[in-house]
Structure 1
């Protein structure tokens, strides 16, 4: 199946795929983790439907475990692409912190491609951190409170 195979897909088709996938997750995930996943998916769906950028704050939530994160990423990939043939792979951050990426099956099985993706993400993160540091400095120099 290629990307064009999903071109005629309706939002209802994607919702049906998400519902099917969530049913399979519900059957294999502990109820409390599934409820956390369900709530996160519900919140993100509303953010997207309302035209907001999809950014979900998980903070220090202990219930947003690695398993919940991976399933959440899978559901969001299905919701946004309509595809169910992707994989979630470990993609540690520049500091070694745990992280994940949603990739095609082909890329998931390509160690060189994954290494290139990781390098791109680390480069982007370093650029983003440098920009944030500059903006915080400008804000402090301007007397703007930068405490979040």
Structure 2
């Protein structure tokens, strides 16, 4: 489903915009990351929406990666990426629909819920990792 006025070449047009924003090197990094994620998801494997912890996949590329996945999954470009506050200072984002941007109270409640869930998931992951390494 495309936003009003968009034709069947939505993905091609979107990818051309990404290439113009990132340049060839950044574009290829984002495409490879999205391709691997899509292969994992298509194969029924769980996947973590993350990339390598180095400068080659910095915050800008991570946001572009998330935006590309949103376009691939929804078939639309009318989403927005919001920042989620993290207590450790790392960047975290969520993809939201346009109407949420017009309701600050609902948007803040969503941010709070997503941040709490991410914190709980991180705690569970640390506990599992500790359990595996002590056994």
Deviations 1:31-89 (A, max 9, x none): 22112112112212222222222325523121112221111111111111222210111
Deviations 1:86-141 (A, max 9, x none): 0111112243422111101111233222211121022213333443455456556x
Within the candidate set 103, 108, 114, 2:107 is matched to 114
Structure 1 residue matching 2:11: 3-state secondary structure: helix
8 Å CA contact 2:41–2:47 kept in 1: the answer is yes
- Residue 58 of structure 1 corresponds to 51
Structure 1 residue matching 2:67: 3-state secondary structure: helix
TM-score, reference length from structure 1:
0.71
Give the direction of change, closer, same or farther, for the CA distance of 1:56–1:106 in structure 2 (3 Å limit).
closer
- Residue 90 of structure 1 corresponds to 83
- Residue 38 of structure 1 corresponds to 31
8 Å CA contact 1:92–1:98 kept in 2: the answer is yes
User: How many Å separate the matches in 2 of 1:40 and 1:137?
Assistant: 28
Structure 2 residue matching 1:95: 3-state secondary structure: coil
User: How many Å separate the matches in 1 of 2:85 and 2:77?
Assistant: 23
Equivalent pairs, count: 129
Structure whose alpha-carbon radius of gyration is higher: 1
- Residue 77 of structure 1 corresponds to 70
Unmatched runs of 5 consecutive residues or more in structure 2: 2-7
TM-score, reference length from structure 2:
0.77
User: How many Å separate the matches in 2 of 1:125 and 1:55?
Assistant: 12
